[in-house]
Amino acid sequence: MEASHNLRPRGPWRRQAMKWCGRARWRPHLPTMGLGLRDLRVWQESVALGADVVRSLRQATRRETRVVTEHAMITALAVAESVAEGYGRYAPGEQRVLYREAKRHLLRLETSLAIARQAELLSATHHAQLSSRVQTVNRLLGGFLVYLDRQLDTATTT
């Protein structure tokens, strides 16, 4: 038996802590809270937007229109990738650069969807649904950028 046997957890969470750590040797280990990329709302919305764009334009992919549909699909993927990469950076300045990049990709996507709608590659209902989702991601990205700008302003004033 180890000398640290008096440090074993007590209380209602003892049994669960022992399951997480194993019974042979107790180590003070608690589960993580899980504030990761998958919990980030802007990432969830941008991934859902990318999936919706791929689903909507996959039906219209023909040899003659492949360039337009693939460009829209790749741009939709780039939005989610930029958000994920921005989340992975620790410095607010680097995050701001990547979230602005995601916003630029979002504007390109909106333009590609408008072109696809005008070329009748995308139905009016699908275009309306995708535009609504684009606006949601745009609003969330705008909120992140305002937060980062405030954070950078307070860092420069102190």
CA distance 129 to 116: 14
Cα maximum dimension of the chain:
75
Is the separation of the CB atoms in 103 and 141 below 8 Å?
A: yes
Residue with tokens 């949601």: 136
Residue type, 68: V
Is the separation of the CB atoms in 35 and 57 below 8 Å?
A: no
CA distance 73 to 67: 10
Beta carbons within 10 angstroms of residue 147's beta carbon: 14
10-residue stretch averages of pLDDT, the chain, 158 residues long: 50 52 45 66 95 91 88 96 93 93 97 94 94 96 93 85
Q: Which residues of 44-72 are buried (b: 16+ CB within 10 A; e: fewer)?
A: bbbbebbebbbebbeebeeeeeeebbebb
CA distance 126 to 123: 5
Ordered domains of the chain (ranges, CATH): 1-31 (no CATH), 37-157 (1.20.1440.60)
DSSP codes, 13-35: THHHHHHHH-SSS----------
pTM: 0.74
pLDDT value at residue 43 = 93
pLDDT value at residue 14 = 52
> Exposed, middle or buried, 33 (CB in 10 Å: 0-12/13-18/19+)?
exposed
pLDDT value at residue 32 = 39
pLDDT value at residue 12 = 55
